[in-house]
């Protein structure tokens, strides 16, 4: 409830109109005539004009529209830099996988073999037989000690050493007499010993990259005529 009483109508009419807007006589007459002509006959036109129009500022048009902003020009997105993979030929040319001659020593890779034995022990666990064999052929061979049992290339038979590189088609091993040998998987039977267990597998069956081999399901096959 307001503490102040509303100003009486007769007082309002006598108050000076101080709105800063100068209105000439023609405009006053036009506004009055227009309102009186527009209102219906059954209403008190004079009263409505005096109450609603006379001595009042009527806002005819008030535009509160926001200025239309021009769409911002988007700068063309910079193409994302895609990491380019080196081709096999370029990797070979750059010598990325080349092992320096000063490292052609069995003793250099013995720690790797020790790590592999710990790793393969966890992979096999307590499994035996075909389950253990499946886990072996899917495992990582870098650091494994492999022996060539049979091969169509007789010069490889009896060769053994630690695997230091593996490709889809070959094993590169370092022998105990510090010789670096690249042995093809094709037509070769390999053996791996883990503790008191011995596992043999045909190179033809594991002609995959290590990442591909890890997800492949292997089936036992014949000796392929070796």
pLDDT of residue 163: 95
- Residue 149 pLDDT grade (very low, low, confident, very high; cuts 50, 70, 90): very high
pLDDT of residue 180: 94
Is the pLDDT confidence value at 29 over 70? yes
Name, in order, each residue with C-beta under 8 angstroms of 184's C-beta and a sequence gap of 6 or more. 153, 156, 169, 170, 203
- Residue 64 pLDDT grade (very low, low, confident, very high; cuts 50, 70, 90): low
pLDDT of residue 181: 94
Task: Give dist(CA 139, CA 119) in Å, integer.
Answer: 9
Domains of the chain, each with CATH number or no CATH: 9-53 (no CATH), 100-213 (2.30.30.210)
- Residue 146 pLDDT grade (very low, low, confident, very high; cuts 50, 70, 90): very high
Q: Are 181 and 172 in contact (CB under 8 A)?
A: yes
Is the pLDDT confidence value at 81 over 90? no
Ranges 9-18, 85-94, 200-209: which has the least confidence: 9-18
Summarised one tens digit per residue, pLDDT across range 189-208 is: 999 988 888 889 898 888 88
Is the pLDDT confidence value at 114 over 90? yes
Beta bridge partners of 170: 184
Summarised one tens digit per residue, pLDDT across range 160-172 is: 999 999 988 999 9
Backbone dihedral angles phi then psi of residue 107, each to the nearest 5 degrees: -65, -30
């Amino acid at each position: 409830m307001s503490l102040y009483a509303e100003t009486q109508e007769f007082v309002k009419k006598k108050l000076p109109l101080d709105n800063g807007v100068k209105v000439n006589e023609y405009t006053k007459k036009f506004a009055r005539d227009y309102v009186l002509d527009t209102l219906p006959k059954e209403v008190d036109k004079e009263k409505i004009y005096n109450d609603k129009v006379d001595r009042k500022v009527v806002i005819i048009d008030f535009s509160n529209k926001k200025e239309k902003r021009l769409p911002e020009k988007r700068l063309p997105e910079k193409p994302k830099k895609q990491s380019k993979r080196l081709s096999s030929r370029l990797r070979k040319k750059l010598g990325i996988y080349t092992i320096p001659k000063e490292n052609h020593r069995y003793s250099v890779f013995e720690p790797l073999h020790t790590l592999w034995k710990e790793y393969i022990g966890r992979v096999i666990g307590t499994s035996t037989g075909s389950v253990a064999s499946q886990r072996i052929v899917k495992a990582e061979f870098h650091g494994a000690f492999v022996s060539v049992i049979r091969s169509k290339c007789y010069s490889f038979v009896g060769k053994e050493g630690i695997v230091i590189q593996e490709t889809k088609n070959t094993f590169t091993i370092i022998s105990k007499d510090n010789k670096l040998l690249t042995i093809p998987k094709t037509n070769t039977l390999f053996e791996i010993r883990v503790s008191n267990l011995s596992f043999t597998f045909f190179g033809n069956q594991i002609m995959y990259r290590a990442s591909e081999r890890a997800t492949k399901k292997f089936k036992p096959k014949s000796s392929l005529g070796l």
